[in-house]
Structure 1
Amino acid sequence: MSTLVPEVLAGLLDDAAIFPPGNASLPEAVISHAAHLRNAYAAALGPLVVRVADLALVWDGPLSVVSRLDDAHAAVAAAGPRLRALEVALPAAARADEVRSLASLGVDVFVEVPRDARRSAVLEELAATGLSAKFRTGGLTADMYPSPAELAGSIVAAVRAGVPFKATAGLHHAVRHTDAATGITQHGFLNLLVATAAARAGAPDEEVGAVLASRDECGVADGARALTPEVRESFRSFGTCSIREPLDDLARLGLLPTAWKEGAA
């Protein structure tokens, strides 16, 4: 591992360049991802995230594949040895126990936990089957962003159930902020990391929610500096359509040396 990337940040950024709002073309995303992997900060990267329909691409690097529930087994077969993880969304009418069909796939599976009354039942099934969770933390409209209280409840429930999770969407910067272009308040990925550590230490929902709601960059960065790699046993990674923006934030906050830019693509 490069000494530029602390262990607590290793593999934190899953490269979701082809998804909104990045919307890179698949060839562009592959070329960019390969360039990132040649740089000094490569240890911060997880796999390239693609859709099932993209699996014909000429790329032999590690992939995380976004799939529907009924396409999951076919996706595993099509991805072959490139597959590092499968990300599965449950249909609106799916029962919680339908996730059991994913337990035999032999790869890391992240099931998107619905933001409805099924949340607790789905997390119970994930705990029982050894599967992981995926929490949607944003999107193109304000209603796609869970409140700090809602997200805190999901994190605490996952930690208490022993269910690892990844996050996806809306995590464009390290610390919670209001996006100037859209006016939407977005979660910070460092807030999530520090909040997860608080949940692992037994903090109640309200305390975890307060960490998620904090806009104090120095305070959140100091909290992140105090973390140990064990927090990543719970918070595995997050999908980002930009690799440069999170790295820029981490360097600006003193969590990565600015030297990472010397070889940046």
Structure 2
Amino acid sequence: MSAPVATGVIPELFRGLFDDAAVFPPGNLPIAEAVPAHRVHRAAWYAEAVGPFLCGAGRLGELAAVVTGGATPPASAAVAAATARGAEEAGATPLRVGLVLPGGSAELAPALAAAAPFELAGVELATRDAAEAVAELDRLLPPHVPAAVELPRELLRGDGLDAVLDVLVDSPYRAKFRTGGLVAEAFPDEDELAAFLTGCALRGLPYKCTAGLHNAVRHTDPETGFEHHGFLNVLLAAQETDRAAAAAVLAERDGEVLAKAARALTDRQVTVIRNSFTAFGTCSIAEPLGDLAALGLLSSPDPLPQEDR
């Protein structure tokens, strides 16, 4: 049985896929604007697509000040209008925060303490030593809180990839892979990303991605010339265990081809894909939703959000 694209709701393939990384580059939205915008997203009809609010360890104090009223967010027209439509209701719920710790395990204990005012949705820990990171997460992380471990891409090439994935597969934690950045070298090619995806798939290891995946379909950015992976490409490649097959899916640039493949997925395939590719951080919630609507994979009962970066 095929999994149809639902009307007026978020299809299972995209639920919880878009972690809100509005305060990270290239969006760099001020926290005082990003928090009310996130609350708008969480009160909107597409809320099921939106994951937690991502915040770096060094900005948790600023975030707490905004959430508790210590900073007044600018009354932009978009935020004001959305608030009138029900953002106040979303503001009554605790802010779900994902901690992003680029400084490694040394940041874990103080960040957990600083995150006390929030509902902790997860931890993303960058490290150069997967085993050490796993040990520290085991020691300090509350048992109900999920985590993802990110290693530099240069350590995931050749035999290094297998070694890291083998460490993580024996832990309760996801892998995290960086799919873009502010320079061309930050974007892995299809083969490198395919190696990571299939390595995880063969082990049954879940993962998240971050950076460069705002759009659904692989493309060349007309301003920077950077080669961006599409999140729909990654979703479809997540079910592959053959590296060449995964690379071919990642290389596809025809949105209609990808949309047709997404519509043909069975319920079981959707489950396999989302058990593997759990989420990605995006500094825009509007862009991915708009792309899905344009491809006919999302039918919106109300207007989509305006650009939020």
Normalised by the length of structure 1, the TM-score is 0.91
Question: How far apart are 1:2 and its partner, in Å?
Answer: 9.3
Find the counterpart in structure 2 of residue 156 from structure 1: 198
Aligned: 1:73 with 2:78: no
Matched, 1:29 2:66: no
Q: Provide closer, same or farther for how the CA distance between residues 186 and 174 of structure 1 changes in structure 2, counting only shifts above 3 A.
A: same
Which residue of structure 1 aligns with residue 281 of structure 2? 239
> Which structure has the bigger radius of gyration?
2
Q: Is the 8 A contact 2:9 2:300 kept in 1?
A: no
2:138 alignment partner AA: A
Q: What do the CA deviations read for 1:127-150 (whole angstroms, capped 9, x no partner)?
A: 111210111000011100000000
Single out whichever of 66-75 and 36-45 deviates more from structure 2.
66-75
Rounded to whole Å, the distance in 2 between the matches of 1:193 and 1:211 is 9
Gaps of 5+ in 2: 1-5, 68-93
Matching residue of 2:260:
222
Deviation at 1:263, TM superposition (A): 7.2
Deviation at 1:262, TM superposition (A): 6.0
8 A contact 1:96–1:121 mirrored in 2: no
CA contact 2:8–2:299 (8 Å) conserved in 1: no
Residue number in structure 2 paired with 1:84: 121
Q: Distance in 1 between matches of 2:23 and 2:284?
A: 10
Unaligned runs of 5+ in 1: none
Please name the residue that 2:250 is paired with. 212
- Deviation by residue 1:56-105 (Cα, 9 ceiling, x = unmatched): 32433101110132111322232135111101111xxx333212221341
Aligned partners of 2:7 and 2:299 also within 8 Å: no
- Residues 130 and 151 in structure 2, CA contact (< 8 A), matched pair in contact too: no
State the Cα distance separating 1:114 from its structure 2 match. Answer: 2.5
The amino acid that maps onto 2:44 is N
Within a 5 Å distance, the mapping from 1:73-152 to structure 2 comes to 73-80=109-116, 82-90=119-127, 94-101=128-135, 102-104=137-139, 105=141, 106=143, 107-117=145-155, 118-152=160-194
Q: Is the Cα–Cα contact under 8 Å of residues 40 and 263 in structure 1 kept in the other structure?
A: no
Residue type of the alignment partner of 1:233:
N
Is the CA contact (8 Å cut-off) linking 1:87 and 1:112 kept in structure 2? yes
Would you say 1:182 and 2:182 are equivalent positions?
A: no
* TM-score of the pair, normalised by structure 2: 0.79
1:63 aligns with 2:101: no
Q: Output the CA distance in 1 between the equivalents of 2:48 and 2:278.
A: 14
Paired letter, 1:116: E
Matched, 1:48 2:53: yes
8 Å Cα contact 1:113/1:123 also seen in 2: no
Change (3 A) 1:181 1:74: same
**Mapped pair 1:9 → 2:14:** yes
Equivalent-residue separation in structure 2 for 1:37 and 1:66 (angstroms): 20
Q: Secondary structure at the match of 2:153?
A: coil
**Corresponding residue for 1:170?**
212
Q: Matched residues in 2 for 1:207 and 1:166: separation? A: 20
CA distance in 2, matches of 1:110, 1:46: 14
Identity %: 43
2:150 & 2:7 partners in 1: Cα distance?
31
SS of equivalent to 2:247: helix
Distance 1:122 1:263, change over 3 A: closer
- Residue 29 of structure 1 deviates from its aligned partner by 0.6
Aligned residues: 258
Counterpart of 2:196, as a letter, is S
Structure 1 residues 3-37: Cα deviation after superposition (integer angstroms, max 9, x where no partner) = 42112211100000000100000111101101111
